[in-house]
Each structure stands twice: as structure tokens, then as C-alpha cells.
Structure 1
Amino acid sequence: MTKIASEEAKRIIEHYLVCKDDLTYFDILKYGVSQKEAGCLLNNWHQFDRPDIYSVSSEKIYGIEHFEYDAHGRHKRGSLQRKENNLITKEMKQKAYGMLKDNDSCVISREMQSKANEDNYKNNFIYAFNTHYSKIDNYRIRLLERAGSNKIPVSMWFIAEDVTALGAHIIHRSKTGATCNLAWPLLFPEVEEIFMQSDKIDGIIYADNYYKKLTLIKRDKNAVDEFKKHNLYPNDKFLFFELHTVLISEKIQ
């Protein structure tokens, strides 16, 4: 396991740990997934590499591959949101260091120039999904090697994490007012079609740290229809927030 892969798996396990000291940190929403299968999927996680995580039940071995997506543009090396945020942080620290030579404190703010939008949100998810799906056969082989048997069934799942700054939301307007709900890539017809045709995975887990939810969706028409029934509304519009970074620094005497 490479150091980068090990750190990613460790972060996922620590960040999305479902149970600790008998306390449930995340709400678990299930569509087409039984309580037993959810328990097998979400308990006894082990760090791995390609896929990131595995868990073993008495019946099968589960492989869970993690990927991130956001609603900003991307370049050859990845997310523009991540690149710009790193540059802003570096520049603000350098500016603060210079200002503190003549001042006891300083406040610096910057606005991210990259703007989030609906098309980037959809396309980035599809890109990440397809990239990881192209490696599914390799993931399966490695899990069988880990199990030491070619006879044990393997169940592959994705865990998809929306890392859009301040989250991606949908505004639902009705006669009684407006509500702000989570955005879901699976509500795009193109994404649903890709998901349903990807028969080498059994399902997907949407991980949302802001609302503390893990949403498990089986790759099954009835499960997807049930998910849409609870989350798809007419006249919905996407809502993204513009990110402003503020750095407050004080000289230590």
C-alpha cells in the first residue's frame, strides 16, 4: 500500500466512522439495502489500496472505493477548487507574515474566482465515477487475493464524497415556501443511466459530512425509483455558495 493510499483510507475510516463508543455519528439512509447488508458494509472497515476499504462478512467480502467530486471546473491535474484554495491559503499566509512585521495583527480576505455550477457538478461526478469504474476488475482481483480464495463472492461499492466548498444544495419551492435540500448527482438522468448500466458494482454510498448522512443506494431500479421519490421535486434549482476565505493573524510577543 502506498503512503498516499494509506492516508486516504485512514482519513475515510476516521471521518466516516459510523459507530464509536456505541454512539451513531451519521444517519444511515438505505434504499434497496437491508439492515443486515448495511451492517456488513459499514462495520469492520480495513484499510486497503485499490479499493480503499474492505470488510468481510460470513457470506462475502465487500470492497469500497472512495472518490471525491465538486461543482467547480477541473484541469488535467484535478479540481480547480482545490488548486485555487491552496494558492489562496499560501498567498494569504505570505501576505500576513509581511504585514505582521509592522502591525500587531491583521485581517486578510480573498474570494475564490472559480465559480461552482450545475454542469461542473454533474460532469465532475461522471468523470470520477467512470475513472474508478474502469479499475473495478483490478479491485476485484486484489480482494480475492486478500481473501486467499477465488470462490468467495465479492461485492463492490463506491463511496462518493461531495467536497464542494460549503456544499451543493437544491432549492425546492412550493406554495408553502422554499426549502433547502441536499443536491444529488443521481437525480441527473445521465448519471442514473451510467449507474444502472455499471453492473460490476452493487451500489453507491453518498457521504455527506455537513448533514452527517450516509446514503446507501443499491444498483436496482426499485431502489433508485424509491430514492427519487423521496428526493426529486419539480422546479428544483441548484444553489451554490461563493467562498470567501478570511485569515485573522496576531503577532505573538
Structure 2
Amino acid sequence: MTNLQVIGAGLGRTGTMSMKLALEEIGFGPCHHMVVTFGQEGCFKYFNNILKDKEVEESIKAVFKDFVAAVDYPGCMFYEELMKLNPDAKVILNVRDSPEAWAKSSGDTIFSANQANWLVSQLKVFMFQMFMPIHLYLIHKIMEKQSVHGVAPTDPDTDLAQMYTDWNNRVIETVPAEKLLIFNVKEGWKPLCYFLGVPVPDTPFPRVNSTEQWQNKVSGMMKGNILNALTRVVVAGLIFACGYYLLVGF
């Protein structure tokens, strides 16, 4: 068992960063979100275990053991396992205005390779694997497993709108109606607070992580990682050159 009181089953790009901040503001924090994994100790080991179907339950427990709520990837992928571990938890399915709206947002951000032709798609996937943290690659591979999406969201042949629709239908079919809130962040505080049984804040509902903000953040991260990689290559080359000249002379 973990300590989760709220399980977010909605896919990424459904207002999950805004939801994280909202839940923490009304007392359901800390809340796990993809951003947390960048500094989470042991996450590579845990996601590698899950991908290999090794110590899956123990690894899921380890990832979420210090949190009261979880939204976004990777938590949404394990909503059924988390429900079993936390039978009293409530489930929130974040949604967008339409499947097409979600496909556009996710295609412009987390699954941008999906919107490219095959060659560009493969290049984007290669760059992602080379210059982004390895645990993100593992999370994407878990997404492709039959037990999660069964398709590769980065594949140009994948219909993202259909993937989103299939996922939401699966959640609605597998979560008891009395434990489930289908929620669009545009609805604001009231339905969320009523569902969770807490007072409605007198502050505006959080609105963060737009497509433009996400693209700028990831672009900066990618550039930084590429620069670091190039720096390591140059330094390694200089060390090799110095060693070579010291050994064989000028």
C-alpha cells in the first residue's frame, strides 16, 4: 500500500501540471507528476524493472510511496495498480475539450514525432534517446506496452485522438462511478473540491504549462544536454590528445 488519496488517470497534456498545483493547494500534496521524476532517486531502476516485468508492484510502490496524489505520466499508466494498492483513493480523469484538441496539444509537445514524416520522426526519437534523461525513454517504452497504450505514441501511424478516446473509455469502464471524477481544468475549483470534500479556495485555479511554455522548457533542456554532451566529447578528445603526445612525443 502507498499513501495516495488521489489518483490521476488522465493522460499528459490534459492540464495535469495545473492539476498538480491545484491539488497541493487544497491539501493533497505532495503530488507526483512527470516533472518530479527528474530528481527522483532510483527512478531509472524502478522504471527499468517495470518495463522488464520484474518486481513491478514493489517498483510502483517505491515510485509513489512519498506522495499523497499522482497525476500525469507515469502515474496515469498505473492507475489500476494504484487503485488496488489504495482502495480508498479517489480517481480523477482529466480531459480536454475534445480528442482532437488533445491530439493537437500532445502532437505539438510530448509526442511531436507523431506529427512528422517517418524520417523526421526517427530523427526526433533518436535525439530524444540521445539527449534526454534515460528514465524518460523507459517511460515511453512502457507506454507502448500492450497493458498501457499498445501503440507507440511517437509513431506517425498512430492516431492520437483514437488513443486518447480508447484510454478514457478504459478508465470509465474500470473505475467505479462513485470514485471517479471526469474533470476539465476549465471547470475550475468547484467540481474538484466537491468531489474531494474540501473547501473551495478563493484564489484563481492554476493555469500553467501551455504548449508554448512546454516547448520553450524542453528546447532549453535539450540544448543544455547537447552542449554538455559536446563539451564532454571535446574534453575527452583533448585528454586523449594530451596523453597521445605525452606517450609518443611531438
TM-score (norm 1): 0.29
Using the size of structure 2 for normalisation, the TM-score is: 0.29
More strand per residue: 1
